[in-house]
Amino acid sequence: MSNLIQEFNNYRSKMNEVILGKNNLVMKRLWNLDTNTYEAGALDVATKEMLGLVASMVLRCDDCIKYHLGKCHEVGITTEQVYEVFAVANIVGGTIVIPHTRRAAEYWEELIAQ
């Protein structure tokens, strides 16, 4: 696994454990709810993950982008499709989304190189 992917996953797991270890009920329930949100329903998982990706991009949250890129890769979204999501994010959110798109593109390259 590439460095970027492994570092992201390791830090995420380590800190999630710290946070959940404090037993704050609201935090725990929000995280469960977050999982429910992306499960198949009237929309399939691939569509929902692309929704999560574009929302993360326009809000410019690099870690959220990485998380949803990982999921998009898992469910078989193609590079051409991912770049159309990038395009929507850049048009809606403007050129301030470009630096986040650079980091997203870098992470995507590592995902497809695995």
* Residues within the interface to a second copy (CB under 8 A): 11-12, 15-16, 18-19, 22, 24-27, 29-31, 33-34, 36-38, 41-43, 47-48, 50-52, 54-64, 78-81, 83-99, 101-103, 105-106, 109
Question: Closer to a second copy at the Cβ: 1 or 41?
Answer: 41
Share in percent of the chain as helix, strand, coil (round to 5): 80, 0, 20
Question: Closer to a second copy at the Cβ: 74 or 109?
Answer: 109
DSSP code string of 53-76: HHHHHHTT-HHHHHHHHHHHHHTT
Question: Closer to a second copy at the Cβ: 2 or 38?
Answer: 38
Closest contact distance (angstroms) between CB of 1 and a second copy is: 20
From residue 17, give the alpha-carbon distance in Å to each of 10, 11, 51, 72, 75. Answer: 11, 10, 27, 24, 26
Question: Closer to a second copy at the Cβ: 1 or 43?
Answer: 43
Closest contact distance (angstroms) between CB of 70 and a second copy is: 14
**Phi and psi (nearest 5°) for 44?**
-80, 170
